[in-house]
Amino acid sequence: MAHLLNTSFIPGSRTLARIPTTPVLISCRRSSRSQVQAKIREIFMPALSSTMTEGKIVSWIKSEGDKLSKGESVVVVESDKADMDVETFYDGYLASIMVEEGGVAPVGSAIALLAETQDEIAEAKAKATSSSSPPQETKIPENAAPAAAPKAAAVAAAPVVSSTHPASEGGKRIVASPYAKKLAKELKVELGQ
């Protein structure tokens, strides 16, 4: 153990004399030139709350071809709790809108494409059309069609209670969250009553 105290971990002159002193050249040049490629970025449907699974596009603030700056509002999205503006994180041009106003998209899916330059807008539009799949038609069996007809007749026979909109009566305004409006629509309940 005593011999460890006298041991040095720094190389001595004899050790250094044995190391070859040939210079090593390090090349900093790359063998191939890298090309700067166009960046087409996707604008995603954001998760505006922890419970949000999909969002509805209320309106597009910008239209296709408009120049965008970082932090600028692009679209208004309706979540289950509120309507919020969505901002862009990059500078560029709004190349293609993939989900139109009134459309619904799951959280994390692309709703638009952003191109860095105007020259890339055509490329982004081509990418948008190739990534969007055509809607699939569902065939209804012949025996299912007559069953749907009486149901539609029953809905059409329901009497209309009021011909005027409740909001136009006496200046009353219906205040409800988007989720409450959606739920009322699904349950066919008028919020004004």
Which residue ranges form the domains of the chain, and what is each CATH number? Answer: 40-130 (2.40.50.100)
Element (H, E) at 56: strand 54-60
Q: What is the pTM of this model?
A: 0.49
> ∠122-130-113 over CA atoms, to 5°?
50
Those residues with Cβ within 8 angstroms of residue 172's Cβ, 6 or more apart along the chain or in another chain: 166, 192
Average pLDDT, integer, range 98-112: 90
From the centroid of its chain, how far is CA 163?
39
Output the pLDDT for position 2.
57
Output the pLDDT for position 127.
74
